Amino acid sequence: MKTLYISLKIFLFFTILTGIIYPLFVTAIAQIAFPAKANGSLIVKYNKIVGSELIGQHFDTLIYFSSRPSAISYNPLPSGGSNFGLTNSKLKHSVDSLKRQFIAFNQLDSLTEIPSEMLFASASGLDPHISPNAALLQTDRISKARHFGVSQNQLLLKSVNELSESPQFTFLGEARINVLLLNLRLDEIR
Amino acid sequence: MTTQDFIQIILFFALLIGLTPLLGNFMFKVFTGSKHIMSPVFGWLEKLTYRSSGIDPDEETNWKSYTFSLLMFNFIGFLFVFLIQLFQAQLPLNPANLPNVSWHSAFNTSVSFMTNTNWQGYSGETTLSYFVQMIGLTVQNFVSAATGIAVLLALIRGLARKTTDKLGNFWTDLTRSTLYVLLPLSIIFAVVLVGQGVVQNFKSYDTVQTLQGASQVIPMGPAASQIAIKQLGTNGGGFFNANSAHPFENPTPFSNFLEMLAILLIPAALTFTYGKMVGSTRQGWTIFKAMLILLVLGLVISLYAEYSTNPIFGNLHLMEGKETRLGITNSVLWSTATTAASNGSVNAMHDSLSPLTGMVAMINLMLGEIIFGGVGAGLYGMVIFIIITVFIAGLMVGRTPEYLGKKIQKFEVQMAIIAVLAPNIVILLFAAWASVSAPGLASLNNSGPHGLSEILYAYASAAGNNGSAFAGLNANTVFYNLTIAIGMMIGRFGIIIPVMAIAGSMGMKKITPSSAGTFHTDNWLFIGLLIAVILIVGGLTHFPALSLGPIVEHLLMNNGITF
Residues of A (131-150) whose Cβ lies below 8 Å from B: 131
CA distance B251 to chain A (A): 7
Give pLDDT, residue B179: 97
Do the chains contact at A6 and B125, CB–CB below 8 Å? Answer: no
Give pLDDT, residue A128: 97
What number of C-beta contacts closer than 8 Å exist between A and B?
364
For residues B130-152, give the mean pLDDT.
96
Report yes or no: B532 at the A interface, CB cutoff 8 Å: no
Give pLDDT, residue B72: 97
Q: Identify the band that residue B122 occupies on the pLDDT scale cut at 50, 70 and 90.
A: confident
Q: Which is nearest to B387 in space by CA: B506, B297, B525?
A: B506
In this predicted model, what pLDDT tens digit does every residue of B410-447 receive, in sequence order? 999 999 999 999 999 999 999 999 999 999 999 999 99
Report yes or no: B529 at the A interface, CB cutoff 8 Å: no
| Cis previous bond, A78, omega within 30 | yes
Using CB atoms, pick whichever of B53, B178, B190 lies closest to residue A26: B190
Do the chains contact at A77 and B73, CB–CB below 8 Å? Answer: no
Do the chains contact at B355 and A95, CB–CB below 8 Å? Answer: no
For residues B454-459, give the mean pLDDT.
97
CA distances from A127 to A72, A74, B194, B197, B324 (A): 11, 9, 18, 14, 7
In this predicted model, what pLDDT tens digit does every residue of B10-41 receive, in sequence order? 999 999 999 999 999 999 999 999 999 999 99
Alpha-carbon Rg for chain A in angstroms = 22
In this predicted model, what pLDDT tens digit does every residue of B289-307 receive, in sequence order? 999 999 999 999 999 999 9
- Compute φ and ψ for A44, nearest 5 degrees: -105, 130
Report yes or no: A69 at the B interface, CB cutoff 8 Å: no
Range of weakest confidence among A68-82, A117-131, B326-340, B395-409: B395-409
Alpha-helix runs per DSSP H in B32-138:
39-53, 63-86, 103-114, 124-127, 130-131
Give the residue extent of every domain in chain B: 22-270, 375-558
Do the chains contact at B197 and A37, CB–CB below 8 Å? Answer: yes
Using CB atoms, pick whichever of B219, B319, B553 lies closest to residue A77: B219
Computed over every residue of chain B, the mean pLDDT equals: 95
Query: What dihedral do alpha carbons A42, A44, A47, A49 form, nearest 10°?
Result: -50
